[in-house]
Chains A and B, each alone.
Chain A
């Protein structure tokens, strides 16, 4: 092996009394891509920040970190300033907040150049211009005078990369550079990084929780867990042999597909490209009558006294006349949502933006449906309208046969009870000062008859056991739970009113792969046991593939393709669907390709 560019030996790091890293070894040769994989809290970012010496105040590092012959742990702050941004560049996870909002992108790229080369403003700006051209932000559309808020997430990440690579560093550290981006942007950004590495013979330390992404990019891979290196070696070998149990566990979790029960019959009210209609015929009518509760074996203890609540409380489901059992649970009929255009001058506006454009769809009871699309395609706007949190400009949304469009809050109570939501961020969606019992029983105010204290507690206990938590968790506060457990809490909150439909907006994208596998299992299990229908909003096709029956592909406000999930994802017809499928990282494919490359 050639002399390494970065050589980390026995690195340990404590924050206060808390050990973060325990004897980490890692090395990168010039021009080499090292993938650093691990779950949250494993110390990936702290390793990177140690190299940059941008650790939090209380952190204490010990061990040996050498970069290009310089001891980084002993280096003075002045030496580090000279290295950062010149020989070592860094790209961060969250492009939306990584740029200073009050400075132009030109200033921000040129600044690093000026700090290190002492170049005059004009000269630095010229170099900044070239660099922005290189990362795919041409001068005509992206003059130096643009401000960050005028750019999208992917464009901002390109600016951050331009800042990091402006002086052709020997080492680039990219900490989850694409986690906040949709798959199509992810692919573009990864390719850009790959090209820059090749052009400048940079070493790249690529940090990610996504095994598929790292496999595609990295020559060698280091797997980190609880601050310790589990395994290190050539990507192809590590992932094909999967010698270490943790490696195997990670790989399996990344490809996890939950077991699901028999599907209830699909029902599509849509207009375009109705492939699953054929399926209904093929499958016959029998599928529709299967009782949700008898479909799968319940894996957790049988729901205690479910009937009690079902018969006595207002949750009991009055049979719907007319709509009947076979009617769609949710029917969206040519719904559009316009946003006023950008103000051009005091009295003139741009033409309105169609966030959602003439969308029709329907979801049958118990069906699991994915709404996939790139960020900004209108999928969240559509979900908000379905949840009656936003009003369509035109069109109608019917839930269980009754319209929800343009109704007041009082009239919406029944619909809200039967339609709950799970959000992406398990950290932000709970009031930290309330106990679990209160948080989980929050939707009960939607009930016709107010449950008593004891009833509330019982229902909360029941909901918690259903998501795999226990009654002893009722009196805890949200901070006492891990991310995955918190997402279980959100799900418990969503199912406590026995809803018929749960809208889940990227419910697993903030979770680690192993946790994510568990949560997907939970979703599948609840779908089987309670017969809840799902609308999963996601840009992650593995989620769609794992847990949904049907998929809707959304692009620029329209639904461009729909059908059975497997069929659409295996043989996408529309341009938008193809782009998504091609860009989606896939561990199987990535390993196969690496095996060929590395022999």
Chain B
């Protein structure tokens, strides 16, 4: 088990370093001079040159990478070119919206998907299965911004239970903040739940045809108990894999939903920064997301070992 853990950790660290190089290199290739953008169109060539040297943009590439990567290690992401505030502050401000949003959406999607998958698998070929999987099909197909608009119309405009957009901030208490996150979380969770339910059903059906399921049935266990106690845990590996990918997406790929609900999340921060050539912000946020994805994959890998004893004893 320790060997497995260490191996995963080393792989994660190497991936992180390689990813940082790629992120840095890509943004170096992108055209556009941050110094000129910060100073505006009227600045003279000398002013631009001065700012460039102040920002360290004239240093050799390797040096700038090391400087940047070294900064990342103690959470010094540098200062935003456009806002002139530390990038860390920007990220923190947005992260408190994006991270809870992603977590709520993932939790919702799991809570919906696993029971639906279990139900469908246990009633394979029956009407209930067809209805559930038909609904899942629709869930995958519906664009989430359209569904979001529907939610706003129903719960914000018509029923007036929650605000139609914006973020109340955590300062005002947990409840108002949650209220502004609940609709976007549902909009995000639905398509994810649809995918996850299908994956769960498929994984369960595969497991249900295994010999050990028959052994368990021959013990006299009712079908439902076999499904819960024998099939589910064996079916978890593909489910966990998909959940890991989905969380990564929920953290970073939520720009559209953030725009629909006017939420100040990480997605919007990145889009704005790209438009304004605020490269240092882009780099930092992308790096943070990469780190988050790698961390999630690491957690998923470790949870495999928790689920499956064969991985524990292997190296």
* A binding-site residues for B, Cβ under 8 Å: 52, 54, 57, 77-78, 81-86, 89-90, 92, 94, 97-103, 108, 111-112, 115-116, 147, 149-150, 160, 163-164, 343, 345-346
Q: How far is the CB of B203 from chain A (nearest CB, A)?
A: 13
Given A102-B234, A102-B309, A149-B309, A81-B212 contact (CB < 8 Å): no
Chain A residues, CB < 8 A from B229:
111
Contacting pair A100 B309 (CB below 8 A): no
Interface stretch (choices B101-109, B214-222, B239-247):
B214-222
Contacting pair B220 A150 (CB below 8 A): no
Contacting pair B3 A346 (CB below 8 A): yes
Q: How far is the CB of A375 from chain B (nearest CB, A)?
A: 19
Q: Can you give 29 A-B contacts (C-beta < 8 A)?
A: A52-B218, A54-B214, A54-B217, A54-B218, A77-B222, A77-B223, A82-B220, A83-B220, A84-B219, A84-B220, A89-B218, A90-B218, A92-B214, A97-B212, A98-B211, A99-B215, A100-B212, A100-B230, A101-B212, A101-B234, A101-B308, A102-B309, A115-B219, A147-B310, A147-B313, A163-B215, A163-B218, A345-B2, A346-B2
State which of A98, A345, A346 has its C-beta within 8 Å of the C-beta of B212. Answer: A98
Main secondary structure of the interface of A (DSSP, over half): mixed
Chain B residues, CB < 8 A from A345:
2-3
Contacting pair A97 B210 (CB below 8 A): yes
* B binding-site residues for A, Cβ under 8 Å: 2-3, 6, 125, 210-212, 214-223, 225, 229-230, 233-234, 307-310, 313, 315
State which of B2, B125, B225, B309 has its C-beta within 8 Å of the C-beta of A57. Answer: B125
Chain B residues, CB < 8 A from A346:
2-3, 6
Q: Residue of A at shortest CB range from B216? A: A100
Contacting pair B211 A92 (CB below 8 A): yes
Q: Give A81 to B216 CA distance when docked, in angstroms.
A: 11
Besides A78-B222, A92-B218, A108-B215, 10 new A-B residue pairs in contact (Cβ under 8 A), listed by A number: A52-B218, A84-B219, A92-B211, A100-B215, A100-B234, A101-B310, A102-B233, A111-B229, A163-B218, A345-B2
Q: Give A115 to B222 CA distance when docked, in angstroms.
A: 9
In the complex, the number of residue pairs spanning A and B with C-beta atoms less than 8 Å apart equals: 86
Contacting pair B219 A98 (CB below 8 A): no
Q: Give A81 to B218 CA distance when docked, in angstroms.
A: 8
State which of A82, A84, A89, A102 has its C-beta within 8 Å of the C-beta of B217. Answer: A84
Q: Give A62 to B120 CA distance when docked, in angstroms.
A: 29
Chain B residues, CB < 8 A from A164:
218
Chain B residues, CB < 8 A from A99:
212, 215
Q: Residue of B at shortest CB range from A166? A: B219
Q: Give A102 to B308 CA distance when docked, in angstroms.
A: 5
Q: Give A103 to B225 CA distance when docked, in angstroms.
A: 15
State which of A57, A81, A147 has its C-beta within 8 Å of the C-beta of B220. Answer: A81
Chain B residues, CB < 8 A from A98:
211-212, 214-215
Given A102-B308, A345-B2, A97-B217 contact (CB < 8 Å): no
Q: How far is the CB of B217 from chain A (nearest CB, A)?
A: 6
Contacting pair B3 A343 (CB below 8 A): yes
